[in-house]
Amino acid sequence: MKKKVGVVVDIIMYVILLVQMMYVFIGNNLHELLGIGFFVCLIIHLCIKNWWAKTILIKNKPASRRFFDIITILLVLTIIILMISSMGVSRFLFTWFHFMGSADLHRYLATAVLTLGVIHGGMHGFWHAKKKKLAVVGIVIASVIAFALGIFGVPFLNRQKRSVEISYADKQPEATIEWQGNKPLVVYFTRMGNSNFEPDVDAVSGASLLMSDGEMMGNNQLLAKMVCDITGFESEAITLTGEKYPSSYSDTIVVAGDELKAQARPGVEPIDVSEYDSIILIYPLWWGSIPMPVATFLEDNDFDGKTIYLIITHGSSGYGNTISEIEELCPNAKVVPGASIYCEDIPDAGDQLIELLRRWNTGVN
């Protein structure tokens, strides 16, 4: 009976882990509730398999048993840290908990748990398998797939399928900042306004779009609006003069990849920065680089002696190569990286922006 319960609990844990990775489809609240379910299953699992703890110190074990012990200890430790980080990034059950609140860290830990979990489960298969070499190959392939799913698959799904609706009034940053000295110009680039979108978001395939009070909005557009609301700065959008990007997300990825390879410089509407000592550039990461229209904007203007503050949004890869790219395009400018914001965290980035702008305002980079 105990064994049967153990098997059922193990299966439930793997299913929960996989469903948890599909965060974009199940939404935040179910994700958090399932996280609690996973934790409960873990306790049951540990109670049922408590014999294992007693065998850790046994000497003269076969190498496979030693390997299993190491993986299992790592797995339990990683799950515990994952649980703490889950509370840190909680938006529903543990909003009062403010420790390890990094979405990136949470995803990396979840990937580690899935990968170690696959190896852990695979070892049971290994002991029962007649063809040991084949079992090892199976474990390696399954763990590589689990790792790739966490590192690449989940962020990809998030970027492709995420469609978030917000009310700007709920997200609008509360504080304002009196800027000392000359005000910077906020310049942003976003897919919105530069793509052939249908007026109806449901008609946009692989939308990955934000709806603010029923209107489609780009992630970077929303950040630019927040920065301007906090500071009273003016903003300008980098806008294509020629052909726009396709409405479909995946087609845009292809076009942007071709542009990057060719180091294309798509035409953009002129933006006059000559009156400003500094700009705040808000842009998305595209293929680990700056979008080529941003390169056009930087090349079209003279940034000698000016400061370029950077805020980037991304789907998992932070600044990518963009800091050095911007430094190369504007060799005589002072480039100051400020924040790299994961696309899912954008609607709640108000406090982060206030803190960042306060730092910049006091000359702390």
Measured CA to CA in angstroms, residue 128 lies from 49, 54, 68 at distances of: 18, 22, 14
Nearer to ligand FMN, 284 or 338 (CB): 284
Rounded to a whole number of angstroms, the minimum distance from the CB of residue 4 to ligand FMN is 44
DSSP state of 172: S
Nearer to ligand FMN, 39 or 287 (CB): 287
Return the number of the residue (208 or 278) whose C-beta is nearest ligand FMN. 208
Of 285 and 339, CB closest to ligand FMN: 285
Q: Which is nearer to ligand FMN, 68 or 309 (CB)?
A: 309
* Residue whose CB is less far from ligand FMN, 126 or 319: 319
Residue closer to ligand FMN by CB (options 120, 191) is 191
Kindly tell me which of 78 and 252 has the beta carbon lying closer to ligand FMN: 252
Q: Which residues, other chains included, contact 246 with Cβ-Cβ below 8 Å and sequence gap of 6+?
A: 195, 196, 252, 255
CB of 115 to ligand FMN, least distance (A): 20
- How far lies 290's CA from each of 60, 223, 293, 333, in Å? 56, 17, 8, 17
Beta carbons of 115 and 152 less than 8 angstroms apart = no
Q: In the bound complex, what is the minimum distance in angstroms from residue 154's beta carbon to ligand FMN?
A: 12
User: Which residues have CB under 8 Å from 12's CB, separation 6+?
Assistant: 37, 41
Residue 86 has a CB neighbour count (10 Å cut-off) of 23
Residues contacting residue 340 through CB under 8 Å, at least 6 positions apart:
311, 312, 313, 314, 318, 319
Angstrom distances, CA of residue 164 to CA of 116, 215, 224: 32, 11, 18
Question: What's the min distance (Å) between Cβ of 303 and ligand FMN?
Answer: 22
Query: CB of 295: closest distance to ligand FMN in angstroms?
Result: 14
Minimum CB–partner distance for residue 32 and ligand FMN (Å)? 23
Q: What is the largest CA-CA distance in the chain?
A: 77
Q: For tokens 């932070």, what's the residue?
A: 318
Residue 91: Cβ-neighbour burial (10 angstroms; 0-12, 13-18, 19+): exposed
Shortest Cβ 183–ligand FMN spacing (Å)? 23
Cβ-based nearer residue to ligand FMN, 62 or 199: 199
CB of 70 to ligand FMN, least distance (A): 32
Nearest of 281, 360, 356, 350 to residue 322 by alpha carbon: 281
Please report how close the Cβ of residue 117 comes to ligand FMN at its closest, in angstroms.
25
Least Cα distance to 113 among 121, 125, 103 occurs for 121
Sole residue written with tokens 């590192």? 151
Please say whether the beta carbons of 332 and 303 come within 8 A: yes
The residue to which tokens 């040991």 are assigned: 132
Q: How far is the CB of 158 from ligand FMN (least distance, A)?
A: 8
Among 291, 52, 312, which Cα is nearest to 193's? 291
Nearer to ligand FMN, 67 or 108 (CB): 108
Q: Which residues bind ligand FMN (CB under 6 A)?
A: 159, 190-191, 208, 218-221, 252-253, 256, 284-288, 313-317, 343
